[in-house]
Chain A
Amino acid sequence: MTSAAGAAPPAIELIGIDKSFGPVRANRNVNLSIERGVIHGIVGENGAGKSTLMSILYGFYEADAGEIRINGEPVRIRSSREAISHGIGMVFQHFMLVPPLTVLENVMLGAEGGSLLASGASAIRKKLADLGREYGLEVDPGAIVGELSVGLQQRVEILKALVRGAEILVLDEPTAVLTPAEADQLFEMLRVLKSQHKTIVFITHKLREIMTLTDRVSVMRRGEIVATFDTAETSPPELADAMVGRKVILKIDKGPAHPGKVVLEARNLVVRDDRDVVRVDGVSFVLREGEILGVAGVAGNGQSELLEALAGIRPLSGGEILLGGEPMPAAEHNPHAERLIGIGHVPEDRHRMGLVMPFEACESAMLGFQYEPVYGKGVLLSRQAIIADADKKMEAFDVRPRAPLLKTANFSGGNQQKLVLAREIERNPKIMLVGQPTRGVDIGAIEFIHKRIVAQRDAGKAVLLVSVELDEIFALSDRIIVLCAGRITGERRADETNAQDLGLLMAGIDEKAA
């Protein structure tokens, strides 16, 4: 049954895969061949069909048409169990781990080897030790998974797959949850696995990762594979072109800033998280009109808490916020009052905070502004007014489909984000607090969103931008402060710094000051 004489058959061959969800064709006639022992990247915008394709490979969905061949053998994969038996292992963006259990117990899940745990446990323990030595994937088998760092948790996921004998490892956006250092470790790990002839499929929408890690790369667009390159023979602009089907400017044009007077000042802010741990520890800065102040830092260093505290969602444990030189009264330190005085807030997480997924888009488009008379007199809301308002916002921000009555959850990530931005920017706030404006958003939408944020600055608004993407910080900011462990480790003008300088500040080292 081998396809070609002589040469080894590809590890994975997908032939003519088709998959529809109702009227949406998530995959159309996908043909993909992945050689054994390579790292093969798959890039594409959100909604391009990458995850659907991999879910078909892992047996979560069955394709409507097409054939899967593993090592040249045609196979049917109807469940994840069958996928595992064919040597396919999958590492999801959101880990499938049980936090209170130990590493060993997590790895054993589904492979307990009988009703008594002891015999299975010792076998797995040995396997873990072997794998640790072979691939440099050491993890303490007795550690509680919930107490491990995200990077180590991901390592446990990979070990889970390897213990089950995975020869083909599929990783779905594995770096989305990692710090840059953890991502580097992951890449190192994957290179070692490759050197042991494992096949790795790496799904991402970050071109930089494709360029540094992969041997070959396939580009998906609207459910199809539109191109496959040897990574060494392509370039980020070429990949970006293939992804969106047109030229995109990765770096947006923006003129010099004309900062005006200080509109917001933070003095020695102290903010605690939900578990009462101090996450922002004495942070002070000023924000001027007509500038974009970037807040850089590795995720989890207090940016989220700072943003939420400024937006009035999280109480201050210390320090004060001044608006136009006047201390903000405690009574105004809440989201409703802040909206009224012209502070807009694009939250970091549109799913958790920015939108109500089961609501119609028009209802999500009024969140926070539901008290405004434009939506109806007295206690009653006017459906016509709500729909018309949403339609206007959706048109202004090119939200597609322009369907105010469609459920929020049914829009793609980029369009959901545009909906949030439309809601906040169309209200024309004096101060914009923006968190991760393009997280999980495709390149076309990134460009659009960036232009809108710069347009706010050019209109004399003050913008505070929190982002863990250094590219984004550089593309937008006029001035940058860096947070590390809840403190500001440095402040730079955007045109006087570079990635290395900021990288050191993010690690808590200030070279210029030293």
Chain B
Amino acid sequence: MSAPLKPLPAWADVAVIPLVNVAAAFVISGFVVLAIGENPLEAVQILITGALGNLEGIGFTLYYATSFIFTGLAVAVCFHANLFNIGVEGQAYIAGLGAALAALYLGFLPGYSLVVIAVIAAALFGAAFAAIPGYLQAYRDSHIVITTIMFNYIASAIMGYLLVDVLRVPGQMNAETQAFPETGRIPQFHEVLAAFGVQWPVTPFNLSFLLALATAFGVWLLIWRTRLGYEIRTVGANPVAAIYGGISPARVTIIATVLSGAIAGGLAVNVILGEEHRLILEYTAGFGFVGIAVALMGRAHPVGIILASILFGVLYQGGAELAFDKPKISRDMIVVIQGLVVLFAGALEHMFRRPVATLLARRVAHPPI
């Protein structure tokens, strides 16, 4: 046994530790790049320029970041109730079905009401799909990690069947639905800005970003400023105290998972309603899982999640550029870097805690009492 860790000042906890973790991930990635015979510094330069060097890059980066904000927030809401929702991927996938069904079959709705209904449908489908593991955890003691992993497969199987056998456009090879009507799409920024006479390169970056920011604020408000959030945090921190305080952990478990599933629906809003304008097989592409890393890195706080999402957006967009410029570095390299970020920000989160604490303790002399 060793001495307990000195408490870190709050600023170090939220800023220094994540930065050190990310830096460590990048250093190790640098060695991997070096090992395959490329110059790591050049790689970083391409990655950063590709992601942030021009408006087009920035558009793509923020488009990806929007997806991560939604999935990160979805995971974070459950974190606060001490629930590990690994099923954001599947919940977002099913949410895509809700969005697509609304956009395809409610085309008669006037003006913007169609897209609003489609967004709500995405949230409802995601919530409903999350409610089942939530119920099983709350009343049947089936561990949510296990059930949500399995529900990801269920979602994948359901959607595979629907897209191949039911929703596919007859005569089409691709497992995807018809394109949505114009009114069932979320406007992209370049379109909106064009209306005001401002030029912006064509990117998938769309108004879902604003919804993501609003959701982040909503999650902050919910968790730290509402009675429900207080209940969620109490159940997460001490379920026995929650029961003593007249809070039902089962009820809170269901509410948290349902909210989580609804927020996961944001991924469908951004990708399906905002960019693809049709439901595509496996459209979630692992973004739900990256949400876990984002939530961990962002310390389950909306501000942290937004920052972590932008970092991952940079990695995704810059990584694509890197793979294009340096054929030796494939897209898998980005997966390696992501994996390292997850490793350092999640699994090895406390590794640099002691060195940083020691360093700070040395710098900040003890004030005498």
Residues of A within 8 A of B229 (CB): 381
**Residue in contact with B245 in the complex, picked from A25, A370, A383, CB distance below 8 Å:** A370
Q: How far is the CB of A406 from chain B (nearest CB, A)?
A: 12
Q: Does B327 belong to the interface (CB within 8 Å)? A: no
Q: Are B366 and A22 in contact (CB under 8 A)?
A: yes
Q: How far is the CB of B329 from chain A (nearest CB, A)?
A: 43
A359 CA / B245 CA spacing, docked (Å): 14
**Residue in contact with A80 in the complex, picked from B1, B7, B237, B240, CB distance below 8 Å:** B1
The chain A residue with its CB closest to the CB of B231 is: A370
- With contacts A62-B3, A334-B246, A381-B227 taken as known, whether A367 is within 8 angstroms of B241 at the C-beta atoms is yes
Q: Does A249 belong to the interface (CB within 8 Å)? A: no
**Residue in contact with B3 in the complex, picked from A60, A352, A368, A376, CB distance below 8 Å:** A60
Q: Does B362 belong to the interface (CB within 8 Å)? A: no
Q: How far is the CB of A135 from chain B (nearest CB, A)?
A: 27
A23 CA / B369 CA spacing, docked (Å): 7
Q: Are B1 and A355 in contact (CB under 8 A)?
A: no
Q: How far is the CB of B166 from chain A (nearest CB, A)?
A: 40
Residues of B within 8 A of A375 (CB): 227
Q: Are A371 and B238 in contact (CB under 8 A)?
A: no
Q: Of residues 325 to 355 in A, which have CB atoms within 8 Å of B's CB atoms? A: 334-337, 339, 345, 347, 352-355
Scoring B residues 237 to 249 as 1 if CB is less than 8 Å from chain A, else 0, what string do you get? 1101101111100
Residues of B within 8 A of A25 (CB): 369
The chain B residue with its CB closest to the CB of A80 is: B1
A60 CA / B231 CA spacing, docked (Å): 37
Residues of B within 8 A of A356 (CB): 233-234, 237-238, 241
- With contacts A60-B1, A80-B1, A359-B233 taken as known, whether A368 is within 8 angstroms of B6 at the C-beta atoms is no
A307 CA / B240 CA spacing, docked (Å): 15
Q: How far is the CB of A345 from chain B (nearest CB, A)?
A: 7
Scoring A residues 386 to 430 as 1 if CB is less than 8 Å from chain B, else 0, what string do you get? 000000000000000000000000000000000000000000000
Q: Does A363 belong to the interface (CB within 8 Å)? A: yes
Residues of B within 8 A of A359 (CB): 233-234, 237
Scoring B residues 217 to 257 as 1 if CB is less than 8 Å from chain A, else 0, what string do you get? 00001000111111101100110110111110000000000
Q: Are B240 and A381 in contact (CB under 8 A)?
A: no
Residues of B within 8 A of A23 (CB): 366-367, 369
Q: Are A380 and B225 in contact (CB under 8 A)?
A: yes
Residues of B within 8 A of A (CB): 1-3, 6-7, 221, 225-231, 233-234, 237-238, 240-241, 243-247, 366-367, 369
9 closest Cβ contacts across the A-B interface? Answer: A336-B246, A368-B245, A367-B245, A335-B246, A353-B244, A356-B238, A379-B226, A356-B237, A353-B240
Residues of A within 8 A of B (CB): 20-25, 60-62, 79-80, 311, 313, 334-337, 339, 345, 347, 352-359, 363, 366-368, 370-371, 375-376, 379-381, 383
Q: A335-B245, A375-B227, A383-B225 are in contact. List 8 more A-B contacts (CB 8 A).
A: A21-B6, A60-B1, A359-B233, A367-B241, A370-B231, A379-B228, A380-B226, A381-B230
Name 16 interchain pairs, CB-CB below 8 A, sorted by A.
A22-B6, A24-B369, A61-B3, A79-B1, A313-B244, A355-B238, A357-B238, A366-B230, A367-B244, A370-B231, A371-B227, A375-B227, A379-B228, A380-B225, A380-B226, A383-B225
